[in-house]
Amino acid sequence: MKSLASDNYAGVLPEIMEAILAANQQHAGSYGHDQITHRVFQSFRQAFGEIADVRFVFNGSGANVLSVSCAVDSFSSILCADISHMYVDESTSPETFTGCRLMPLKTNEDGKITVQSIKERIIRIGDEHHPQPKILSITQPTEYGTVYSLAEIREISGLLKANDMYLHIDGARIFNALVSLNATIKEMITDTGVDIISFGGTKLGMLFGEAVVVMHPDLSKNLKFRHKKSMQLSSKNRFIACQFEALLKNNLWQQYAQHANQMAAYLNEQIKEVSRITVTKPVQANAVFAIMPRDWTKALQEVMPFYVWDERTNEVRLMCSFDTTKDEIDEFVEVMKSLP
């Protein structure tokens, strides 16, 4: 049974599997000292620009925690949305690993952090009694499936630079944002002033693996040490690298991310025709948020599982994957229409 619960319920892309099989031909140096890792490093530089430094990690928590650890002193605070994955779904890993404060920011109705909310937290600079803000993490696309525009990212990064702070993107679904804005990696990430990104692979069909890409020399300076000590350095590193190589080759990611986004758009369209269910957020990537009758939940989840996002309002999250099909959506909506 397919699922609309999360794109990490989906499996592995055939091109990724082929890449792994192809990488398994011979012995290779461990911990990143192999030819494939070196080769993919260059692919990342082509995509992000020559300033980029790259390390491969196992999962999203590892990518986020390693990323912010590169920016902070132990007396720093890390600003992030109060609905962000780092704040609500990564246990206390950020605190334990960095010793820092996570400072939660309220988001606007689209799930975005606003310039105003950041400014309210850039306070008491130089006051040793208060955690010193040093990095902001935004999620792109946001937890609500909306997408920051390039102008919005630039405005945020400008504000941060003016205050000696860094900008991190949690890009667990970054490819969905890229196709949503029809932007290149360099346009969205390097050129807008992002300093470091958790560049997600798992949710677009990798077996496992994410990348941390750094665009600022301050943050890359001790990257290899922080990478190792975060327990996120794989001995058979080439098997993460080769998966990213497959995704980046001929922009394969575009095809699959586009598909997932299109399925969300299609689902959004179909739902509009159904009364008693209301889409609550702009559908800009691969997620559809909607409020529906509480007594629909069980019956619909038997067709395709999904998460109830807000128990109070019965707002649900319907997340499309690279392998969601129109037929599946049609069937899902048909059942919806049949419900009293």
Nearer to its own copies, 39 or 272 (CB): 39
User: How many residues touch its own copies (CB under 8 A)?
Assistant: 72
**Residue 328: CB minimum distance to its own copies, A:** 11
Query: Which tokens belong to 137?
Result: 């993490």
Question: Does residue 96 contact residue 62 with C-beta atoms inside 8 Å?
Answer: no
Nearer to its own copies, 131 or 171 (CB): 131
Find the angle CA(6)-CA(11)-CA(15) to the nearest 5 degrees: 130
Nearer to its own copies, 107 or 190 (CB): 107
Site residues for its own copies, window 32-61 (CB under 8 A)? 58-61
- Amino acid in position 326: K
128 binds its own copies (CB under 8 A): yes
- Give residue for tokens 């008491």: 124
117 binds its own copies (CB under 8 A): no
Nearer to its own copies, 181 or 240 (CB): 240
- Amino acid in position 297: T
235 binds its own copies (CB under 8 A): yes
Out of 96, 217, 298, 338, name the contact with its own copies by CB under 8 A: 96
Site residues for its own copies, window 153-212 (CB under 8 A)? 202, 207-208
**Residue 288: CB minimum distance to its own copies, A:** 17
Nearer to its own copies, 132 or 180 (CB): 132
Stretch that binds its own copies, among 69-77, 144-152, 246-254, 295-303 (CB under 8 A): 69-77
Nearer to its own copies, 153 or 210 (CB): 210
What is the C-alpha to C-alpha distance for residues 191 and 63, in angstroms, rounded to an integer? 21
Stretch that binds its own copies, among 46-54, 175-183, 232-240, 330-338 (CB under 8 A): 232-240
* CB neighbour class for 8 (10 Å; exposed up to 12, middle 13-18, buried from 19): middle
Q: Pick from 234, 241, 225, 243: which is nearest to 30 by CA?
A: 234
Query: Which tokens belong to 194?
Result: 């992002």
Nearer to its own copies, 122 or 150 (CB): 122
Site residues for its own copies, window 262-301 (CB under 8 A)? none
Per DSSP, helices labelled H in the chain are 14-23, 35-48, 60-69, 85-88, 93-98, 115-119, 150-162, 174-181, 185, 217-220, 223-229, 238-248, 252-272, 297-303, 326-338
- Amino acid in position 161: K
Cβ count near 154 (within 10 Å):
15
Out of 90, 143, 170, 245, name the contact with its own copies by CB under 8 A: 90
Site residues for its own copies, window 294-323 (CB under 8 A)? 321
